[in-house]
Structure 1
């Protein structure tokens, strides 16, 4: 989720008046992302106005939040306190999470060439924490962004569920991606085979979108909250979380490729994940998300996925 620093007036955003009419004072819009817009309501309460998610899915998300929150973690995670339907739009009321974004999105903020130790430590802390939360039935019932069914439906292991999603995603608009990548179909098949060949792994909570704005830190740089679950939240191999986090930490900066390689090495060393496993998951992530925001070279995420696949040793072998 991208933080929005400027304040809006009720005339420019009808939701400000909506929450004010319900007795909340000092309402302000604090963030927006793929799944909706978030407002601070004061007194430790926040509201999220969801876009494109039916109420049934919200109840699954609510259970996932509860499953995560019942585990003692060194950082806070969201909890849905109440759900309201307003003219077909789902609104959730949640506790407001502490801290400030670790840093802005790399599309809007220049990242230094050198990775900062405090950022590395914060990422490792979050990855270790989430890896200790067991995967649950509710997490398996989550539908990831862009797909039409729960990720785990008809599957009994994470790697086969991902391989099936890679096939579905490649079939959505694969011809557009194939125009950018020679030997596209063979690369998809190599990725699916590599996924099926992965060893058994623990099944833990997966956030799936640990970009810097979704990690809140305190003044000392320690992670105090992780927010905005839902984009690719599921149950799965913690190595998938590490692989994706290494790739999306810096997506658009001038040193993005270096940062991905360095974080991949760091996570492999510190967390004990096989580098080949991380590379496989990074190829799968690019194939599963390439078309979620737009198609063609004018879309930043599409370009990023194409570049990831061009240099990925599994896809482009």
Structure 2
């Protein structure tokens, strides 16, 4: 997006003027995610205006970034350079990550039926890379968006921590989901039972939101950056990352269901994950994020989660 002059910026977005007035050149709006809005500042820096996390979480997020950066990866990850509190709004200054998004989100464009091979290869490279980073104490202390406590609190394994999260999330607004999904309570119980029955797995870094805009590639299609950690970032089974990525890569396109099935099969074959494990994690993801943006059929994410559960063989068995 092109730079916006100061006068126009002050009318359309006060943060553009704020950063420009602080001496940054080339200020531009880059994009918005669950965690906040990102602005390019020039000179290889960006600013993130946080909306999804309280300032108290910043030390943890910063430590998670550092934990990931300690391991050699074929792509860049975020690094916080400075922090400020502006009128109780948290602003972090970070290095600008290279490359361009794989593609725009499926909410804004219809993906073609055939998944591009180079996109699949980029996804596999990212999944393998993140699975090589061991889970750390800082990652275990993070709270999944919408929950009220660290995911791993009072638990010593990911599958049990996730099963407990499913119970808490279902209790938040489960009645709204039950109105759209038959046999809801039994499905929640089946999902929890399936989670607790999963075999032991490695504990690695999980991004939790690998949608196309959060992966940057170079002109050759190689992943060069992964950004926007925080929405579901934690430590856990790398199969969870693969399962969620397969489901959310194309959430709203005309071929979304086919793409999810295709990517789930691809990740099972190439990464060695059991198909039943992937479908169990996909049910858990739908049950723990359904109410984060709205309730009822008018909200796209809520509607998507209900659709996922209705066709998930673990939930609807």
TM-score (norm 1): 0.97
The CA deviation string for residues 239-271 of structure 1, in whole angstroms up to 9 with x for no partner, is: 000000000000001100000000000000000
1:267-317 deviation digits (Å, cap 9, x = unpaired): 000000000000000000000000000010010000100000000000000
Cα displacement string for residues 95-131 of structure 1 (whole angstroms, at most 9, x for unaligned residues):
0000000001001111010111001000000000000
SS at match of 2:91: strand
Using the alignment, how far apart are the partners of 1:25 and 1:115 within structure 2?
Answer: 39
**Mean Cα displacement is larger for which, 227-236 or 14-23?**
14-23
CA distance, structure 1, for counterparts of residue 53 and residue 261 of structure 2: 34
Q: Which residue of 2 is the match for residue 26 of structure 1?
A: 26
Match of 2:36 in 1: 36
Mark the runs of 5 or more structure 1 residues left unpaired by the alignment: none
Q: 1:178-203 CA deviation, whole Å, 9 max, x = no partner? A: 01111100000000000000000000
Give the drift of 1:33: 1.1
| Distance change (3 Å), C-alpha of 1:39 and 1:291 | same
Pairwise CA distance, 1:10: 2.0
Residues 3 and 26, structure 2, Cα contact 8 Å, conserved in 1: no
Query: Secondary structure of 1:10's partner?
Result: helix
Counterparts of 1:272 and 1:51 in 2: how far apart (Å)?
Answer: 37
Q: Which residue of 2 aligns with 1:164?
A: 164
For residues 61 and 240 of structure 1, the distance between their equivalents in structure 2, rounded to whole angstroms, comes to: 20
Contact map agreement 2:20 2:27 (CA 8 A) in 1: yes
Residues 162-189 of structure 1, C-alpha deviations (whole Å, 9 max, x = no match):
0000000000000010011111000000
2:9 is matched with 10
Deviation at 1:21, TM superposition (A): 2.0
1:197-276 alignment, distance < 5 Å: 197-276=197-276
Aligned partner of 2:303 in structure 1 is 303
Q: Structure 1 residue 142 and structure 2 residue 136: aligned?
A: no
For 1:157 and 1:46, locate their aligned partners in 2 and report how far apart those are by CA, in whole Å.
36
Q: Does 1:123 align with 2:126?
A: no
Distance (whole Å) between structure 1 residues aligned to residue 179 and residue 296 of structure 2 = 10
- TM-score, normalised to structure 2's length? 0.97
2:3–2:27 CA contact under 8 A, matched in 1: no
Q: How far is 1:6 from its partner?
A: 6.3
Other-structure match for 2:62: 62
Pair 1:91 & 2:95 matched: no
- Partner residue in 2 for 1:314: 314
Equivalent residue number for residue 133 of structure 2: 133
1:79 pairs with 2:79? yes
Q: Deviations over 1:44-95 (max 9, x none)?
A: 1111000142212011001100110111000000011111001100000100
The equivalent residue for 2:154 is: 154
> SS at 2:286's partner residue?
helix
For residue 7 of structure 1, report the CA deviation from its aligned partner.
Answer: 5.2
Q: Note the 1:96-115 alignment, pairs <5 A.
A: 96-115=96-115
Aligned residues: 313
Give the secondary structure class of the aligned counterpart of 2:267.
Answer: helix
CA distance in 1, matches of 2:286, 2:182: 16
Q: Is the 8 A contact 2:46 2:93 kept in 1?
A: yes
Decide whether aligned partners of structure 1 residues 48 and 254 sit closer, same or farther in structure 2, where only a CA change above 3 A counts.
same
SS of residue matched to 1:154: coil
The alpha-carbon deviation at position 14 of structure 1 amounts to: 1.0
